Structure 1
Amino acid sequence: MADQHTPESQQPFEPQPQRQPQPHSGAAPEPWERAALERIALAAINEQRSARRWKIFFRFAFLAALLLIVVAIFSASHQQAVATGRHTALVSLEGEIASDTNANAKDIDRSLRRAFADADSAGVILYINSPGGSPVQAGIINDEIGRLRKKYPAKPLYVVVGDMCASGGYYIAVAADKIYVNRASIVGSIGVLMDGFGFTGLMDKLGVQRRLHTSGANKGFFDPFSPETPAMDAHAQQMLDQIHAQFIDAVKQGRGKRLHETPDTFSGLFWTGEKSVELGLADGFGDTGYVAREVIKAPDIVDYTEKESISDRIARKFGAAVGAGAIHALALAGWKLQ
């Protein structure tokens, strides 16, 4: 009897065990794994960028330093005045007279000493274009001019005024042998001032209270946030009067009998160059070319003014640039200056 086979479609159904998915290399990582990988990658990129920025920064710093050395060598050979034969020495004083400007006593005095010491200089012109400034700096220059005139009695010094020779500028000018002006120059302002601001009224309106503690009864003098007192006013006026007297004495000594004193001469007023000649504050009209040519009789002018060299200017700007660049680089690298 033939074997009987049950058709496959009629065989009983047997459930197969469910197969578990096997992990493979292409499976997506878990969220925390992805975040960790991103942080690691970002840190590596930032480190590379920081290293690259520092490398660029130091390359530029090296090139700038090399350029500074080259310019310093070049400018050092051209900074000093070059004079051949008989000539007129020129020193310029321009701008506010202060220790931190180009019109400071140290540089002006050094320039004047070089101008007087040169055997080929027939005379010295001090060109002044200044509204004034520090009475201390002006007094130092005035004293040095007096010393140099005594040391080199055969070598005259003339002041030539530009737009303005007022206050401290005139304090210096009176030490010269003669003063030459333009008719429209501003000359004079023989006086001293002390200025400032007081904020006590504003503080009262805003309800702000000033708390100032001192170890001396007068240590808080002239504090702008404290009210003035009669003692403060009297002390300030005494100082101003004393400095004013020094100024007046310098003018009288320098101008002598040429000065036609009036009640306004030492009042702080200023006049045109034309009027200043009438008042005896100046001696005549002329510019540097005129004085060199017609007065000193040496038309060739050599400038002895102590100037900031190209290397000094670049060094100052380079120093500021390096500081800013270093701070920027540190900031990019994640550093913060508190």
Structure 2
Amino acid sequence: MVKMKKHPFILASLTIGGLFLFFLLVVFAAGLLGTGSVVSVGDKIGVLEVEGTIVDSRLLAEQIVTFRNRSNIKAVVVRVDSPGGGVGPSQEIYAELKKLAEEKPLVISMGSVAASGGYYIAVAGERIFANPGTITGSIGVIMSFPNYQDLMGKVGIQTEVVKSGTFKDIGSSTRKFTVADRALLQEMIDDVHLQFVEAISAGRNLPLEKLQPYVDGRIFTGRQALELGLVDELGGFHDAIKYAATVVGIEDEPDLVYPEPVKMDFIDRYLQSAVSHILGVDLGLKTTSGPQYLLHNY
């Protein structure tokens, strides 16, 4: 009779033990998948992606900080496929990557295009991989100002401006540049350009005088960039992953961790899809203004 009373307790214990083992298996499986899950097991390689025109740095900066703080991410590979973009966002991403590189190996993999601001970001890495045909370089700064003055005159439209200082309406589309306007803007552009060149000089360990002939906005193939010391090695994404794994001592096929996908609620998704379908306008598309590290006409 005593043994019969113990059976329910034994069954309950076995059930709890089985559930516990099942939970451990789920945790282990989540770690093996390496998809950026909160639950993660083992040493991993983080992968960040910079795609398209750089207009906002906030999301990527958060992702960089997250990867920097995750102890099981031993190295990070940044895949750059971008013609560049705004000066401010490019510099912010570069700054966060430099902080990450102080704590973990940071490897860059260039896609089809890694030019201007895309290259600015790349020089934060300790090793840069480029495909032989990657378009890179375009080391320069550009600002564009449309001028509708003649067109407005033809249709009889005029503008009257009241301003607090000589340069308050600089870049106006309703008047031509003055000599002073152009000198002021050129001085600003030259300073922003120098910041770019100094970042390359520091990141690539190249003297400014050696860089000078190649920082006039010209573009290069990956193979040409290798000859100039602007990249370290010709290779693709998987070559960069293999290199990062070797540096941190991961011998087997490394598990890759990507950032968590951005979540959008149903109403936002529906509105964006509807407007895009009816008007052909992408509500998620952002634009940038001001000086840009951008491959022109891209």
Asked if Structure 1 and Structure 2 have the same fold, meaning a TM-score greater than 0.5 normalized by the shorter chain, the answer is yes
| Matching residue of 2:92 | 140
| Structure 2 residue 36 is the aligned partner of structure 1 residue 84 | no
**Alignment length (residue pairs):** 236
Quote the Cα distance in structure 2 between the aligned partners of 1:256 and 1:81. 38
| Matching residue of 1:158 | 107
Retained in 2: the 8 A contact 1:135–1:168? yes
SS in 2 for 1:296: helix
Quote the Cα distance in structure 1 between the aligned partners of 2:200 and 2:122. 9
Per-residue Cα deviation, 1:204-239 (whole angstroms, up to 9, x for no partner): 333432322223332221110112211111111011
| Structure 2 residue 259 is the aligned partner of structure 1 residue 305 | yes
Per-residue Cα deviation, 1:249-270 (whole angstroms, up to 9, x for no partner): 1110110049993553111111
| Structure 2 residue 48 is the aligned partner of structure 1 residue 94 | no
Per-residue Cα deviation, 1:132-190 (whole angstroms, up to 9, x for no partner): 0011111111111222222x1xx200010001111111111101101101111011111
Quote the Cα distance in structure 1 between the aligned partners of 2:225 and 2:274. 50
SS in 1 for 2:213: coil
SS in 2 for 1:307: coil
Per-residue Cα deviation, 1:98-125 (whole angstroms, up to 9, x for no partner): 12xxxxx221122122223222223110
Instruction: Flag structure 1 segments of 5+ consecutive residues without an equivalent.
Output: 1-77, 100-104, 324-338
| % same residue | 29
Matched ranges for 1:1-338 at <5 A = 80=37, 83-99=40-56, 105-150=57-102, 152=103, 155-257=104-206, 261=210, 263-297=212-246, 298=250, 299-305=253-259, 307-309=261-263, 312=264, 314-318=266-270
Query: Residue 129 of structure 1 aligns to which amino acid in structure 2?
Result: D
Q: CA shift at 1:292, angstroms? A: 1.8
Quote the Cα distance in structure 1 between the aligned partners of 2:265 and 2:51. 18
Query: Residue 163 of structure 1 aligns to which amino acid in structure 2?
Result: S
Quote the Cα distance in structure 2 between the aligned partners of 1:240 and 1:270. 19
Retained in 2: the 8 A contact 1:81–1:303? no
Quote the Cα distance in structure 1 between the aligned partners of 2:273 and 2:132. 45
Quote the Cα distance in structure 2 between the aligned partners of 1:321 and 1:159. 34
Quote the Cα distance in structure 2 between the aligned partners of 1:224 and 1:123. 48
> Which piece of structure 1 moves more, 160-169 or 286-295?
286-295
Query: Residue 152 of structure 2 aligns to which amino acid in structure 1?
Result: M
Quote the Cα distance in structure 2 between the aligned partners of 1:314 and 1:107. 20
Rate the CA distance shift 1:230–1:260 in 2: closer, same or farther, 3 A. Answer: closer
Larger RCO, structures 1/2 (Cα 8 Å, 6+ apart)? 2
TM-score where L is the length of structure 2: 0.72
Retained in 2: the 8 A contact 1:92–1:305? no
Q: CA shift at 1:318, angstroms? A: 4.0
Retained in 2: the 8 A contact 1:81–1:302? no
Quote the Cα distance in structure 2 between the aligned partners of 1:149 and 1:200. 49
Larger radius of gyration between Structure 1 and Structure 2? 1
Quote the Cα distance in structure 2 between the aligned partners of 1:254 and 1:277. 15
Over the aligned positions, Cα root-mean-square deviation in angstroms equals 2.5
